[in-house]
Amino acid sequence: MGTRLAKMQEAKRIVCELIDVFRAGFTSALCLYGIWNFIQDPDGQYGQHRYFDYVSNANEFFCAVWAVFTVFSRRIESPRLRFWDKWLTTQTMCSSYLIALVYWGMMDKVNYGLHSLWQHGGLGLLTSIDFISQRPYKFKWILAPFIYCFCDCFYMFAIAMLWPETRDAVYKFATFGEFGSESMYEVLKLQFILTFVVQTTLFCILWTVQRTFWFVNDKFSKKEDTSSTNSDSKLLNE
């Protein structure tokens, strides 16, 4: 019984490693495609904007970093690696869902291409599935998406103030305008709501799903362990 269980656990470990490697390769390849497509700019829609001016591009880049990083962080026993593993997992998951909600709910025009669907939906599913499959995180990890989102908002504000004519208005609903203008305060208010209200709600929902999943999983695991122990005892008695 013990040998069979050990073989099953080893097979599971190998499958998980292969999935992680495939995920890293796939997300990295799509990220590189996105960078190449941005540089080529076949439709001439990016103007003088830079790659990281678009939050969906920045998020996809960090998702690729997360996917590659987890290949190593989950094979090497290190508290520091585990810290950054959890940081990147919560950061990319929350930002992926937040960007998807903003894209499909606030953009005037949306793109139904495969890469766009990947950026504005696929990454959210990928990161949340991984998050839920991990042992329950403490609530403190909500700080990771908060800090990332704050830095991203500050970056958008900075480039809009430094290059108002060429790099402001990445998105129409996020046009800062002149410093001190009403539009600037409107955008800052929107960023505050998205960061601390919407993102908190997203994290709480996914955090609850994660804890519920593992609560149910542990309950069933205990029942299976109890039944297998009882069957082993019967065999020994016979």
- What proportion of the chain, given as a percentage, has pLDDT over 90? 68
pLDDT tens, residue by residue, 89-144: 999 999 999 999 999 999 988 999 999 999 999 999 999 999 999 999 999 999 99
pLDDT tens, residue by residue, 30-65: 999 999 999 998 888 888 899 999 999 999 999 999
Could you tell me which residues come within 8 angstroms of residue 149 by beta carbon, excluding any fewer than 6 positions away?
Answer: 94, 95, 98, 194, 195, 199
Domain that holds residue 192: 2-237
Number of domain units in the chain: 1
pLDDT at 226: 54
Distances (CA, A) of 65 to 45, 59, 68: 26, 10, 5
Contact by Cβ (8 Å): 152, 54: no
Estimate the share of the chain in helix, then strand, then coil, as percent rounded to the nearest 5.
Answer: 80, 0, 20
Q: Which residue has the tokens 């208005």?
A: 169
Handedness of CA 189, 98, 103, 160 (dihedral sign): positive
In angstroms, what is the C-alpha Rg of the chain?
Answer: 22
pTM assigned to the model: 0.88
